[in-house]
Amino acid sequence: MKSLQASLLICISQTWAAPAPQASSSAVDPVFGPPGASGSLRPSPDLVGYDSSNHVSKSPSTEIPPDEFELAPGQSDDADLGLFIDLSKVKNPQPIRGGTTGPTDPGPRTEAYDRLNSDLFIPPGTDSGDVANAKWPFALSHNRHGLAGAGWARNQNQDQLPIATAMAGVDMRLSPNAYRELHWHKSAEWALMLNGSARIAAVNEDGQNFIDDVTEGDVWFFPAGIPHSIQAFENGCEFLLVFSDGAFSEENTFLITELIDRTPETVVAKNFRTSLDTFKNAPDKQLWIFPGTPAPEDIEKQNQTGPAGLIPKENTYSFHWSEQQPYRVPGGSIKILDPETFPIASGFSAALVTVEPGAMREMHWHTTSDEWTYFIQGQARLTVYQAPSSSRTFDFSAGDVGYVPVPNAHYLENTGNETLIFLEVLRASRYADISVNQWLGITPKQVVKDHLKVEDAFLDTLPKVKPFIVPGNKDLLTTNFTGSPL
Ligand SMILES: *[C@@H]1O[C@H](CO)[C@@H](O)[C@H](O)[C@H]1NC(C)=O
Ligand SMILES: *[C@@H]1O[C@H](CO)[C@@H](O)[C@H](O)[C@H]1NC(C)=O
Ligand SMILES: *[C@@H]1O[C@H](CO)[C@@H](O)[C@H](O)[C@H]1NC(C)=O
Ligand SMILES: *[C@@H]1O[C@H](CO)[C@@H](O)[C@H](O)[C@H]1NC(C)=O
């Protein structure tokens, strides 16, 4: 073995021994390069700093002639209007706002990012100061694949979005009949089924069991440490998991296979009072996401209730949220699920919001919790206002995560042509927000007038009831929203 390694080394050094070309003026250490290598790895020291004999040659113009790019509607309007600039279709989009000629971006660049993030590329004139990044597309997360095409999962945590300290998210896919392995974790898990359906099961500390079937729009919650499993039905499923810790990693869950593999075999046999042979076919590495045999349609066939019985209804781990009719208002709808109706999910409150094209989830903030947001359909923008005088606007589309730290103000405006659907998750025992409309609407008129110098006629239009969503014009270039009072 040793002599083989030695002869290999000799062989490699002979092939690669040709001295690499060196910087012309001074000796550099010999460098080994592949055949055909040329040029120098390091420059001549003569190139340092100021030297009157060096003249930078004039580069060609970096200006982009007006006929080589297009402006999107609204780009030349006053920057403080902050109109949404739709860069999706314009030729060679440029970071121009409030003018027609500049500044331009000659590159390097990847246009697709600019088109998807026009409010970062061409911020509204009102954006100011520094605000931590509030956006993470799951599409930029590593997608870990399960066994034999059984599914995948991608994680968003503080590694991707450092401000997201209170919650982390996972987008998980299970192919038809596939399982997410029996497991548990240190964080609590709040989940929304996004597509398809699954059977979920768990056991609590008192030996009570839980089993249920969940479909698109339904929610489940597993408290920290509670062991559970998820199995897709024959049509597969995709779901969203939100964890009670910004550092949660889907790579770091406790798994039944690893528990057996990491325990001395005699201890395992003694624990179950069985022979060493019992587990001889158990997998020698974790299953995580893996193909399964189809679950029987009849849930009773899988109902393994012990003497302690079922987990009582008031503590059940699932909630058939899909069956709730939402609260509808002009411009959209909202439905809220929090521990007032789903008590086991203590500390988790959510709102599922729909916003019609042109409409907006009104300006608001949350009083007790950061907001973790997931975009299910459509596109939106959101400005984070942070005390005392910073703001930044971010654009989102389906599959993105947003995060707004408490108590920063924000809104969510539908910037697309289809209904916007998103989920707001709070680490709060009750879903609550402060509506700016309502705040000013039930503050003494004189006080509002002395601050903002507005007309009495406007004060009369302020709502006393929280609108949640405000309607708007589908044409996003509209600047007059005067209409019937909310
Ligand atoms: C669910 O998946 C099907 C199949 O891809 C797709 O047609 C449908 O639009 C998805 N539903 C949602 C709500 O995304
Ligand atoms: C499971 O079995 C228990 C005890 O027999 C019963 O009360 C319960 O309704 C069954 N069904 C489900 C879905 O748990
Ligand atoms: C919305 O529809 C209009 C008119 O069809 C189109 O010009 C515009 O590009 C669309 N916007 C988006 C974001 O798809
Ligand atoms: C805005 O629209 C309203 C209702 O159509 C109209 O009465 C008002 O004159 C408009 N205001 C401006 C400044 O155009």
AA letter at 51:
D
Least confident of 44-53, 108-117, 258-267, 336-345: 44-53
Q: How far is CA 184 from CA 49, 223, 319, 369, in A?
A: 60, 9, 20, 25
Tell which one of 200, 209, 310 to mutate to probe ligand 2, the residue whose CB is within 8 A of the most ligand atoms. 310
- Give the ligand at the shortest distance from the Cα of 313: 2
- Residues touching ligand 4 (Cβ under 6 Å) are 480, 482
- Give the ligand at the shortest distance from the Cα of 305: 2
CB 310 less than 6 A from any atom of ligand 2: yes
Task: Say how many Å lie between the CA of residue 72 and the centre of ligand 3.
Answer: 11
What integer pLDDT is reported at residue 224 of this predicted model? 98
Tell which one of 83, 85, 86, 118 to mutate to probe ligand 3, the residue whose CB is within 8 A of the most ligand atoms. 86
- What is the number of alpha carbons within 13 Å of residue 78 lying toward its C-beta? 4
Please report the atom of ligand 3 found closest to the CA of residue 357.
1
DSSP letter at 169 equals: E
Task: Say how many Å lie between the CA of residue 315 and the centre of ligand 2.
Answer: 15
What integer pLDDT is reported at residue 57 of this predicted model? 75
For residue 36, count other CB atoms closer than 10 A to its CB. Answer: 6
Is 63 one of the annotated active-site residues of the chain?
Answer: no
What integer pLDDT is reported at residue 58 of this predicted model? 79
User: In angstroms, what is the C-alpha Rg of the chain?
Assistant: 29
In whole angstroms, what is the distance from residue 428 CA to residue 372 CA? Answer: 12
- Residues touching ligand 3 (Cβ under 6 Å) are 86, 88-89, 416-417
Question: What tokens does 409 get?
Answer: 């103000």
Q: How far is CA 231 from CA 88, 178, 211, in A?
A: 39, 6, 11
AA letter at 6:
A
In whole angstroms, what is the distance from residue 247 CA to residue 156 CA? Answer: 9
DSSP letter at 310 equals: B
Q: How far is CA 137 from CA 20, 245, 396, in A?
A: 44, 19, 8
What integer pLDDT is reported at residue 56 of this predicted model? 73
* pLDDT above 50 (res 101): yes
Task: Say how many Å lie between the CA of residue 376 and the centre of ligand 1.
Answer: 11
In whole angstroms, what is the distance from residue 387 CA to residue 373 CA? Answer: 21
Please report the atom of ligand 3 found closest to the CA of residue 86.
13
C-alpha closest to that of 105 among 58, 60, 59, 62: 62
Please report the atom of ligand 4 found closest to the CA of residue 480.
1
Task: Say how many Å lie between the CA of residue 75 and the centre of ligand 4.
Answer: 23
Give the torsion sign (CA, 130, 132, 137, 142). Answer: positive
For 252-286, how does the pLDDT look when each residue is reduced to its tens digit (9 = 90+)? 999 999 999 999 999 999 999 999 999 999 999 99
* pLDDT above 80 (res 51): no
Please report the atom of ligand 4 found closest to the CA of residue 483.
4
In whole angstroms, what is the distance from residue 180 CA to residue 173 CA? Answer: 9
Question: What tokens does 103 get?
Answer: 């500044």
What ranges make up the beta strands (E) of 135-208? 135-137, 143-145, 151-156, 168-174, 179-184, 189-203
Question: What tokens does 202 get?
Answer: 């768990």
- Averaged pLDDT, 318-342: 98
What integer pLDDT is reported at residue 484 of this predicted model? 64
Task: Say how many Å lie between the CA of residue 205 and the centre of ligand 2.
Answer: 18
What integer pLDDT is reported at residue 31 of this predicted model? 61
Instruction: Give the chain's mean pLDDT.
Output: 92
Q: How far is the first Cα of the chain from the last one, in angstroms, to the nearest whole number?
A: 83
Task: Say how many Å lie between the CA of residue 42 and the centre of ligand 4.
Answer: 67
- The protein residue whose alpha carbon is closest to atom 8 in ligand 2 is 310
For 188-222, how does the pLDDT look when each residue is reduced to its tens digit (9 = 90+)? 999 999 999 999 999 999 999 999 999 999 999 99
- Give the ligand at the shortest distance from the Cα of 483: 4
What integer pLDDT is reported at residue 485 of this predicted model? 59
In whole angstroms, what is the distance from residue 90 CA to residue 72 CA? Answer: 6
In whole angstroms, what is the distance from residue 390 CA to residue 26 CA? Answer: 52
What integer pLDDT is reported at residue 17 of this predicted model? 41
Structural domains of the chain sorted by starting position, each given as residue range(s) with its CATH number in brackets = 68-126 (no CATH), 141-253+288-319 (2.60.120.10), 324-433 (2.60.120.10)
Q: How far is CA 372 from CA 30, 67, 245, 445, 470, in A?
A: 55, 43, 12, 34, 21
CA angle 373/376/379 to nearest 5° reads: 85
In whole angstroms, what is the distance from residue 261 CA to residue 271 CA? Answer: 14
Task: Say how many Å lie between the CA of residue 312 and the centre of ligand 2.
Answer: 11
Question: What tokens does 291 get?
Answer: 């193909």
For 157-166, how does the pLDDT look when each residue is reduced to its tens digit (9 = 90+)? 999 999 999 9
- Give the ligand at the shortest distance from the Cα of 197: 1
C-alpha closest to that of 250 among 340, 319, 173, 322: 173
Please report the atom of ligand 3 found closest to the CA of residue 417.
1
- Show the DSSP H helices in 396-467 as ranges: 436-441, 445-452, 456-461
List 63, 314, 424, 455, catalytic entry: 424
